[in-house]
Chain A
Amino acid sequence: MKMNRMASSRRLVPALVVLALLAALPQLPVPPFWITLLNNIGIASLVAIGLVLLTGVGGLTSFGQAAFCGFGAYTTAVLTTAYGFSPWMTLPLSLAVGALIALPLGLITVRLSGHFLPLGTLAWGIALYYLFGQIDLLGRHDGIAGIPPLSIGDYRFMSGSSIYYVIWTFVILTALAAQNLLDSRVGRAIRALRGGGQAPEAFGVNVARAKLTVFVLAGVTAALAGWLYAHMQRAINPTPFSISMGIEYLLMAVVGGAGYVWGAIFGASLVLVLKELLQRLLPDLIGTTANFEMIVFGALLVVILQFARDGLWPLVLRYFPTNSAHKVSPDASQLARRATPPGGTPLIRVEKARKTFGGLVAVNDVSFEVKAGEIVGLIGPNGAGKSTTFDLITGMNSLSGGRILFEGKPLAGRSPRDIARQGVARTFQHPKILPGMSVLENVALGAHQRGRGGVLQSILRLDRTEEAALLAEAMRQLERVGLAEFKDRPAGDLALGQVRILEIARALALDPVVLLLDEPAAGLRYGEKQELAALLKKLRGEGMSILLVEHDMSFVMELVDHIVVLDFGTRIAEGKPQEVRQNPAVIAAYLGGAA
């Protein structure tokens, strides 16, 4: 812990300076105009932090965050003006409304591919804006005035420089909460969404749930911003909750740096200060007054995405070297482990598995078995149905006929995540790692299902014991496969051979009974293949069972205990490597001879 503090002190100093400056600002002779601007920046930052989580980290996008602000603002406006609630009492209610609206809207899009969510938010962002303007309870287009200010005891936060402290306290707390969340089990799952598609399911992450979590969180931070806005302005109307504001919030997140929590505050400051300047300067340049800043904003968005896709915050960070190394505590508690089945127990039984795509029979009544403690190779020429068989076992594809048993229980109808939880871990032919995440965290993702820390625990740091155990487990697996020295490197820095071994470490972090490796040697150099073979033999020695799909015959022949040969979806041979090598059908299939 001490080491950790020292390492982060280089960032702590500038952070404390900024904090002191923030606190002192309203006491200095700063024109009230700037205080108002800072208040607006604070409120926008809250929305932008939510968007950073959603867009930058989770890879989802919403244009409709302004509408969530509206829900937060209108909730407190109605309850305080019409029903006499105190502003502090409405805070949890405003947040709850934000969450309750986000939940169904998120539910209907999380299963669809990425672009339906932003398009959906665009459409309902507009619909909700018009709706705010049509409801009598919400004061229609005139909105609601006379909202009481926040107060503590007799002190009322009326002036801009007093509510400034409330706003920025919330901003800093929210940013810290977001930061804590990202550095946790749930945060890793959200970060894994960027890997795209269903791959994270195979190492135990519930993709739909992670998407929903981050969407709801973004809705809640936007509602918080709305609640603050209502008590700052003390009068609201639909205008600040329109789609153009929603687009502006997204601009802030992108400009700041879509993957960085503090970048959200940076982006909000940049956009709002720029807007202020443009609104003063442009009319002099062009000669008329209108919202010309949108031309600049639009061009800015295009240029930033073309030249600095990670936003401008990384450019700032360059001057403040960060230390992202994770300390792995050697005395962390161990995660519970599964019992290793005794050697020779049947683990996976494939019985007449069949898969058809239309008229094409990709897998034709294939049967074989994987026993505990052995390495089974599934080989065959291109298009033989190896990968499809693999996808059938891991639940990525559904059976058309036959059945597949794992430890005697049928796997059909189970999701990839569920199959992973049973103890079947896999790697991918095209490695699915998260290049920006450290090697250690990539492996920790594999242990996802062995922890249970949720959003609230992560934000409040109540998950630290479990988190230490997860990281220690990841470290153990890295040591097991020999990648320990790379633990803090971004996974994207590794060579292909190392990436494949990283995937194996991640699969091992699931504490699996069986490892399924999809072409682990593809694209590797000779030396790398040797290392891989040595690793797999070592794992077998430790009692691990392995099924691998492979092209490289010599790699397979010297490694495996048992071979299954497929050709055109049909099993043409099975047996020990020596027997299969002599089999005329196999020779014909590989050499194309008319045997």
Chain B
Amino acid sequence: MDFTIATFLIQDGLTSGAIYALLGLALVLVFSVTRVIFIPQGEFVAYGAMTLSFLDNGKFPATATLLLVFGVLAFLLDLWDNRSRLNAPILLRNVGLNLALPGVIYTLALVLAPIQAGAFVKALLTIVIIAPMGLYIYRIAYKPLADASVLVLLIVSVGVHLAMMGLGLVFFGAEGLRARPLSTGMFSLGFLPVSAQSLWIYGTTIAIIIGLYLFFEKTLLGKALRATAVNRLGARLVGVRTQLTGVTAFVLAATVGAVSGILIGPITTIYYDTGFIIGLKGFVAAIIGGLASFPITAIAAIGVGIVESFTSFYASAFKEIIVFSLIIPVLIWLSITVTVHEDE
């Protein structure tokens, strides 16, 4: 094998592997805290990339409208849920969280979209638009089912995925979009040219992993999330609000999705349905990690990225087949090593 080609492929694999790692971590996070297998994770990636690309073209991102729609839905649901005990504080909180917050973000997008602000402002705006969606998706689709079985939650996830993908099609169209990189330019690392964008990807991935680590180790909310993951009922008994930890997990997942979209948008053309496949590759990594281990998931994601980049070079037609078949040996391994496996 040509050494230069190999290093290129490895670099390419690391780049996509880093994205899969972020998504895999978000999936493990959501699953361990809420028992939701979050199929729509990939949609946040597509939304993020497409929002950024719209902003790049000075267009108003339709995701802001979508956020407003989600907010109104959540508002109505909250209103209905509290219909028997409607008082000022509850109403105020409901209006603030579900109407004012998306309203402010919508206005912000309206102001910032046409003026072509800097790349970082656009990236930040993208995150601000996408992240609260995690909150509303949880409120609308999952909160009423918080005590349902993993299986029911999984099927709900598929429903959310279909709806979000369809909405992506309505708002962004069937055309593929590509965002501008955060910063252009190439460096050369010895003989190896490295794009600035891939440095951003590596740096952001590492920063997010460290950030998550600090969050879980050092903050009370992070510890509450870990407690919920270990034992829901136990956490509730010692005063952890499992609704709050659930919401936090979803908002984190949406944020990570949006960041991944910002990172990957400039290097791949994103269609309304691209997010699903990208998210599923995060799943392959998460499954290898048993849907439980953060470090194994991250390492597995890098492996998935590298396998993918090598197969796309040597057997490009079989790329997806090989990547998605990776879980079969893992399932065999888990199946052999597992002792008695109790469902919930």
> Do chains A and B interact in one complex?
yes
Q: How far is the CB of A67 from chain B (nearest CB, A)?
A: 11
Within the complex, which residue of A134, A198, A254 is in contact with B340, where a contact is CB–CB below 8 Å? A198
Instruction: Check A587 for interface membership: any CB of B closer than 8 A.
Output: no
Q: How far is the CB of B35 from chain A (nearest CB, A)?
A: 9
Per-residue A-contact encoding for B9-25, CB less than 8 Å = 1, 0 else: 00000000000000000
Instruction: Check B341 for interface membership: any CB of A closer than 8 A.
Output: yes
Q: Closest chain A residue to B291 by CB distance?
A: A115
Interface centre among B145, B169, B284, B340 (most CB of A within 10 A): B340
Within the complex, which residue of A112, A130, A298, A309 is in contact with B161, where a contact is CB–CB below 8 Å? A298
Contact partners of A116 in chain B: CB under 8 A: 287, 331, 334
Give Cα distance in the complex from A247 to B325, angstroms. 19
Instruction: Check B283 for interface membership: any CB of A closer than 8 A.
Output: yes
| B343–A196 touching, CB < 8 Å | yes
Given A291-B169, A306-B145, the answer on whether A301 and B158 have CB atoms closer than 8 Å is yes
Segment of B128-136, B148-156, B216-224, B230-238 in the binding face:
B148-156
Q: Closest chain A residue to B281 by CB distance?
A: A123
Within the complex, which residue of B39, B152, B174 is in contact with A309, where a contact is CB–CB below 8 Å? B152
Q: How far is the CB of A419 from chain B (nearest CB, A)?
A: 14
Given A112-B338, A298-B162, the answer on whether A119 and B155 have CB atoms closer than 8 Å is no
Instruction: Check B96 for interface membership: any CB of A closer than 8 A.
Output: no
Q: How far is the CB of B113 from chain A (nearest CB, A)?
A: 23
Q: Closest chain B residue to A126 by CB distance?
A: B324
Within the complex, which residue of B159, B321, B341 is in contact with A299, where a contact is CB–CB below 8 Å? B159
Contact partners of A297 in chain B: CB under 8 A: 159, 162-163
| A247–B284 touching, CB < 8 Å | no
| A302–B328 touching, CB < 8 Å | no
Q: How far is the CB of B141 from chain A (nearest CB, A)?
A: 5
| A301–B156 touching, CB < 8 Å | yes
Instruction: Check A88 for interface membership: any CB of B closer than 8 A.
Output: no
Contact partners of A293 in chain B: CB under 8 A: 166
Give Cα distance in the complex from A309 to B291, angstroms. 26
Q: Closest chain B residue to A301 by CB distance?
A: B159
Within the complex, which residue of A109, A127, A134, A306 is in contact with B331, where a contact is CB–CB below 8 Å? A109
Contact partners of A301 in chain B: CB under 8 A: 155-156, 158-159, 162
Give Cα distance in the complex from A122 to B150, angstroms. 16
Instruction: Check A10 for interface membership: any CB of B closer than 8 A.
Output: no
Instruction: Check B332 for interface membership: any CB of A closer than 8 A.
Output: yes
Q: Closest chain B residue to A125 by CB distance?
A: B324
Contact partners of B151 in chain A: CB under 8 A: 55, 59, 61, 114-115, 118
| A305–B327 touching, CB < 8 Å | no
Instruction: Check A137 for interface membership: any CB of B closer than 8 A.
Output: no
> Restricting to A182-209, which residues have a CB under 8 Å from any CB of B?
196-198
| A295–B156 touching, CB < 8 Å | no
Contact partners of A109 in chain B: CB under 8 A: 331, 335
Given A120-B327, A305-B152, the answer on whether A300 and B159 have CB atoms closer than 8 Å is yes
| A305–B344 touching, CB < 8 Å | no
Q: How far is the CB of B157 from chain A (nearest CB, A)?
A: 9
Contact partners of B335 in chain A: CB under 8 A: 107-112
Contact partners of A134 in chain B: CB under 8 A: 317-318, 321
Q: Closest chain B residue to A294 by CB distance?
A: B166
Size of chain A's interface in residues, with CB distance under 8 A? 49
Within the complex, which residue of A61, A198, A295 is in contact with B154, where a contact is CB–CB below 8 Å? A61
- Give the secondary structure class of A's interface: helix
| B321–A130 touching, CB < 8 Å | yes
| B341–A111 touching, CB < 8 Å | yes
Per-residue B-contact encoding for A282-314, CB less than 8 Å = 1, 0 else: 000010001111111111111001100100000
| A63–B158 touching, CB < 8 Å | yes
Instruction: Check B164 for interface membership: any CB of A closer than 8 A.
Output: yes
Instruction: Check B29 for interface membership: any CB of A closer than 8 A.
Output: no
| B341–A112 touching, CB < 8 Å | yes
Interface centre among B141, B144, B159, B174 (most CB of A within 10 A): B159
Give Cα distance in the complex from A196 to B284, angstroms. 25
Within the complex, which residue of A107, A110, A294 is in contact with B162, where a contact is CB–CB below 8 Å? A294
Per-residue B-contact encoding for A265-297, CB less than 8 Å = 1, 0 else: 000000000000000000000100011111111
Give Cα distance in the complex from A455 to B144, angstroms. 39
Q: How far is the CB of A197 from chain B (nearest CB, A)?
A: 4
Given A61-B155, A292-B169, A305-B148, the answer on whether A197 and B342 have CB atoms closer than 8 Å is yes
Per-residue B-contact encoding for A134-146, CB less than 8 Å = 1, 0 else: 1000000000000
Give Cα distance in the complex from A299 to B161, angstroms. 10
Contact partners of A553 in chain B: CB under 8 A: none
Q: Closest chain B residue to A309 by CB distance?
A: B152
| A254–B343 touching, CB < 8 Å | no
Within the complex, which residue of A119, A254, A291 is in contact with B283, where a contact is CB–CB below 8 Å? A119
Q: How far is the CB of A101 from chain B (nearest CB, A)?
A: 13
Q: Closest chain B residue to A292 by CB distance?
A: B166
Q: How far is the CB of A338 from chain B (nearest CB, A)?
A: 28
Q: How far is the CB of A140 from chain B (nearest CB, A)?
A: 9
Contact partners of A198 in chain B: CB under 8 A: 340, 342
Interface centre among A113, A198, A254 (most CB of B within 10 A): A113
| B148–A124 touching, CB < 8 Å | no
Instruction: Check B296 for interface membership: any CB of A closer than 8 A.
Output: no
Give Cα distance in the complex from A130 to B331, angstroms. 21
Instruction: Check B170 for interface membership: any CB of A closer than 8 A.
Output: yes
Instruction: Check A131 for interface membership: any CB of B closer than 8 A.
Output: yes
Given A111-B335, A114-B150, the answer on whether A295 and B159 have CB atoms closer than 8 Å is no
Instruction: Check B33 for interface membership: any CB of A closer than 8 A.
Output: no
Within the complex, which residue of A118, A124, A254, A306 is in contact with B324, where a contact is CB–CB below 8 Å? A124
Contact partners of A424 in chain B: CB under 8 A: none
Within the complex, which residue of B37, B155, B325, B338 is in contact with A305, where a contact is CB–CB below 8 Å? B155
| B155–A250 touching, CB < 8 Å | yes
Q: Closest chain B residue to A248 by CB distance?
A: B162
| B324–A290 touching, CB < 8 Å | no
| A294–B163 touching, CB < 8 Å | yes
Give Cα distance in the complex from A112 to B338, angstroms. 7
Within the complex, which residue of B144, B327, B332, B340 is in contact with A306, where a contact is CB–CB below 8 Å? B144
Contact partners of B81 in chain A: CB under 8 A: none
Interface centre among B39, B166, B287, B291 (most CB of A within 10 A): B166
| B163–A298 touching, CB < 8 Å | yes
Contact partners of A114 in chain B: CB under 8 A: 149-151, 343
Within the complex, which residue of A55, A124, A292, A298 is in contact with B325, where a contact is CB–CB below 8 Å? A124
Instruction: Check B167 for interface membership: any CB of A closer than 8 A.
Output: yes
Give Cα distance in the complex from A176 to B234, angstroms. 46
Q: How far is the CB of B334 from chain A (nearest CB, A)?
A: 6
| A298–B166 touching, CB < 8 Å | yes
Per-residue A-contact encoding for B27-40, CB less than 8 Å = 1, 0 else: 00000000001010
Given A108-B331, A113-B341, the answer on whether A290 and B169 have CB atoms closer than 8 Å is yes
Contact partners of B341 in chain A: CB under 8 A: 111-113
Q: How far is the CB of B266 from chain A (nearest CB, A)?
A: 26
| B343–A197 touching, CB < 8 Å | yes
Contact partners of A296 in chain B: CB under 8 A: 166
Give Cα distance in the complex from A296 to B163, angstroms. 7
Within the complex, which residue of B37, B174, B280, B344 is in contact with A196, where a contact is CB–CB below 8 Å? B344
Give Cα distance in the complex from A55 to B158, angstroms. 15
Q: How far is the CB of B326 from chain A (nearest CB, A)?
A: 8
> Can you report 21 residue pairs joining A to B where beta carbons are below 8 Å apart?
A61-B151, A108-B331, A108-B332, A111-B335, A112-B341, A113-B342, A116-B287, A123-B287, A123-B327, A124-B325, A127-B324, A198-B340, A254-B155, A290-B170, A290-B174, A294-B163, A294-B165, A301-B158, A302-B141, A302-B163, A306-B144
Known: A108-B335, A197-B343. 9 other contacts (CB 8 A): A108-B331, A130-B318, A197-B342, A198-B342, A292-B169, A297-B163, A298-B162, A298-B165, A309-B152
Sort A-B residue pairs by CB-CB distance and give the 8 closest, nearest first.
A301-B159, A298-B163, A298-B162, A295-B166, A127-B324, A294-B166, A302-B159, A123-B324
